[in-house]
Amino acid sequence: MSQLENVYGLHAVEALLRHHPKRIKRIWLAEGRGDPRIQVLLELAKAERVIVESRGRREMDEQIDGVHQGVVAEVTPSQVLGENMLDELLESDSAPPLLLVLDGVTDPHNLGACLRTADAAGVRAVIIPRDKSATLNATVRKVACGAAEVVPLVAVTNLSRTLEKLKKRGLWIIGTAGEAQQNVYAQDLSGPIALVMGAEGKGMRRLTRDHCDYLVHLPMAGSVNSLNVSVATGVCLFEAVRQRRLRLIG
């Protein structure tokens, strides 16, 4: 039985070629694809000596349960990092750390979207609990558009214990909760922080909430009272980005 897994989609495969080419064993391209975006992939693959072969689109459709865009890479399984790597990741960055913690986000589409946003916002690492959470798979990589190959994803056994360790390193733990008194725009997010986003519908678990230094909410002006976790993550992360840039200017 093959130990390889499939990564599909133009962005995801290009990110692999640029950042982890040694993981790729073979790339399949749909017959007839020769557009400029494919030429970029071909040049990268040639430079890294990655085998590229053609395959019928119907055959690819049957093999892949998702929108593959005519590009599929057979790769060695990616590694979700262990909590022992967290200290090393934090020490390698001289800027005030910005971490994203996802407490029980089980939908792979949401995890992929959060990884994509985390990459855009300059997040140092995304932390998830080892149990009751989505993890890296082909759907996550496709939605993340390459970010899953760039942003470190750290799975921890005990999320509360990890938050305590982050506090001891000088990080402030900022949790999101609809009933919080303070809104996110009034919270100082310019320093070393770990932003905690709760699971879809249920929010953060009680123990996770108890380890937060501050709780914030997103002000809602319409008839709905909550946002999808990936959308809320984007709002909060880019408020942190805005504050950090203002601090640098000031």
Q: What is the Cα–Cα distance from 157 to 15, expressed in whole angstroms?
A: 29
227 marked as part of a ligand binding site: yes
List strands edge to edge, sheet with 98-103. 81-82, 153-156, 125-129, 98-103, 193-198, 172-176, 214-217, 182-183
Annotation: binding site for S-adenosyl-L-methionine: 198, 218, 227
Annotation: binding site: 198, 218, 227
